[in-house]
Amino acid sequence: MWEVRSDLGSNRIARVIFCIGHDGMILLHGFIKKTQKTPQADIDLALKRKREVM
């Protein structure tokens, strides 16, 4: 899994977690947060979705 980040200003960061499948990129989860660390719940959700589609 990989993550793309974008600074939205006002201490907000948009993130999209994705993986690469046989047919291309699969977006697993997107969210906005205010800290650098990715919450474990968001990682767990992305992992769950990856298992469902792979």
Given this model, what pLDDT does residue 47 score?
Answer: 98
Do 28 and 10 meet the contact criterion of CB atoms below 8 Å apart?
no
Whether 6 and 26 have beta carbons less than 8 Å apart is answered as: no
Confidence (pLDDT) at 36: 84
Kindly tell me if the per-residue pLDDT of 54 is higher than 90: no
**Chain segment 2-47, per-residue pLDDT in tens:** 999 999 999 999 999 999 999 999 999 999 999 888 999 999 999 9
Rounded CA-CA distance 12/54 in Å is: 31
What pLDDT does residue 35 have? Answer: 86
Return the H-helix or E-strand segment holding 53. Answer: helix 40-53
